[in-house]
Amino acid sequence: MHNPGTDRLDDTPPPSHIEHLRTDWPLLALHGLLVAMAAYFAPGAARGGDWAIFAALCLLGSWAVLWLSVYATITARRSSTIRMEKKALRAIQDGTELPEAVVARHEKLMAKDRRRDIRIARRRQYWGHLFRRRRA
């Protein structure tokens, strides 16, 4: 997005839910279509013959599309984090102040990481007795 009256692009990243939908929506729709096609071919596949090949290809394709969807989401999040880190490094090298959007997103990510770590620690504390090694 371009700010009128300036020569630089807007530093505000898109909200994460929009970024998530932008990467996932078409791939998940394709996944659903392939699963529906596999279900359509299933009665013919039960009788054997070429329909079994079509059903298997559709299921294999739907699995591949779902994997691609997850990979695309991870890549999009990672690249937005890398962009944010580059902006921060550039601001530190120039001795300028960081844009508010970058600081806010960083704080949001740190809070998210803290919550994840707390959740993992709580889970380990609750279920840890099942995974502890016994001394011989």
Tens digit of pLDDT for each residue in 66-101?
887 777 777 777 777 777 778 778 888 888 887 787
Which pLDDT does position 8 carry in this prediction?
47
Q: Residue 2: helix, strand or coil by DSSP? A: strand
* pTM score: 0.42
* Domain range annotation of the chain: 16-98, 99-136
pLDDT in tens, 20-70: 555 567 777 888 888 888 888 888 877 877 888 888 888 888 888 888 777
Burial class for 105, CB neighbours closer than 10 Å (0-12, 13-18, 19+): buried
Which pLDDT does position 2 carry in this prediction?
45
Q: Residue 97: helix, strand or coil by DSSP? A: coil
Q: What contacts 84, CB < 8 A, 6 or more positions away?
A: 13, 102, 105, 106
The two structure tokens encoding residue 64: 């591949």
Alpha-carbon distance 128 to 135, whole Å?
15
What backbone torsions phi and psi does residue 99 show, to the nearest 5 degrees? -60, 145
Cβ count within 10 A of residue 23: 19
